[in-house]
Amino acid sequence: MSGSACSSSSLWFAPNPSKRWAELFFLGYTPFWLTLCLGIIVPYRLYENFTELEYLLLGLVSAAPAFLIPMIFVGKADSGLSWKDRYWVKASVWIFIFSYVGNYFWTHYFFTVLGASYTFPSWKMNNVPHTTFLLTHVCFLFYHVTSNMTLRRLRHSIADLPQKVQLFFEAAWILALAYFIAYLETLAIANFPYYQFVDRESMYTVGSLFYAIYFIVSFPMFLRIDEKPGDPWDLPRVAVDALGAAMLVTIILDLWRLFLGPIVPVPETKQCLQPGLPWFPGHAIANET
């Protein structure tokens, strides 16, 4: 019976003990920050009394335990491993890099293409609230662990099919899951009034597809970390892979901006006035000379 349960669970979780422990930890940790943000602060409108400090503390309280808990309470699977060989470290580095690039750069595509804006008081980096950097990290950990589990289960289910058919089903699932998560996140924060859109309905439909581009690229790439037995990744490889995924997303987002343009009318002050990345201020200087 126990052997059957172990075999069943392996269809969802990684054969690598360190990776399996980390995925279970990130899943188990998710209800804490999710309940704090969407189960307490938003429905009870506690944010109405928040200043820059409270928003920053919310981000820290949500994200910091994801680093501190596995660091202090070392899992049995990690007890014999150096810190740099533990999967939770590798996953955290990959997501940190990917989500940092997403906030620092791609948020400006939300401003220029999707007509989004943050209006809550916050300390910012590159006009993006520090709080979103922190919350995005734990959000993306949850999303990517969920993707790992479902892709792993799907691969077991279609292993006997021809290779091209497997690729089709896997690509279809990645697209569907990426869109579903992007749509669900947009819907989940609908009751928070200080993350605004010019046209919320367009954001739900077309904007979710734009946001899903992040995950269409990242889900299959993130899964590869320590997934194959006998092929452990080191931290430099993890970092380079995350940067590669981020660069590919940046290219696709900018191609959307250049060839499809904004999904809604966006104020001129938030549009890039000439070809180039929207977070480059050079167009303003060029117009003055």
pLDDT of residue 50: 97
pLDDT of residue 265: 83
- Mean pLDDT score of the chain: 91
Q: How far apart are CA 4 and CA 27, in angstroms?
A: 23
Share of the chain above pLDDT 70, in %: 89
Q: Sorting pLDDT into bands at 50, 70 and 90, what band is 287? A: very low
Q: How far apart are CA 54 and CA 225, in angstroms?
A: 35
Which of 3-17, 102-116, 172-186 is the least confident region?
Answer: 3-17
Tokens of 36: 């704090």
pLDDT, tens digit (0-9, with 9 covering 90-100), for 186-243: 999 988 999 988 898 999 999 999 999 999 999 999 999 999 999 999 999 999 999 9
Which of 53-67, 81-95, 166-180, 263-277 is the least confident region?
Answer: 263-277
Q: How far apart are CA 288 and CA 247, in angstroms?
A: 31
Beta strands in the chain (DSSP E): 116-118, 124-125, 128-129, 195-197
In Å, how far are 15, 16, 196, 214 from 228, measured between CA atoms? 9, 8, 42, 24
pLDDT, tens digit (0-9, with 9 covering 90-100), for 142-170: 999 999 999 999 999 999 999 999 999 99
- 5 has a pLDDT exceeding 80: no
Q: Are 262 and 271 in contact (CB under 8 A)?
A: yes
Which of 221, 215, 234 has the alpha carbon at shortest distance from 83? 234
pLDDT of residue 264: 86
Q: Sorting pLDDT into bands at 50, 70 and 90, what band is 275? A: low
pLDDT of residue 135: 98
Share of the chain above pLDDT 90, in %: 84
pLDDT of residue 10: 77
Q: Are 190 and 223 in contact (CB under 8 A)?
A: no
- 283 has a pLDDT exceeding 90: no
User: Which residues partner with 117 through β-bridges?
Assistant: 196
- 125 has a pLDDT exceeding 50: yes
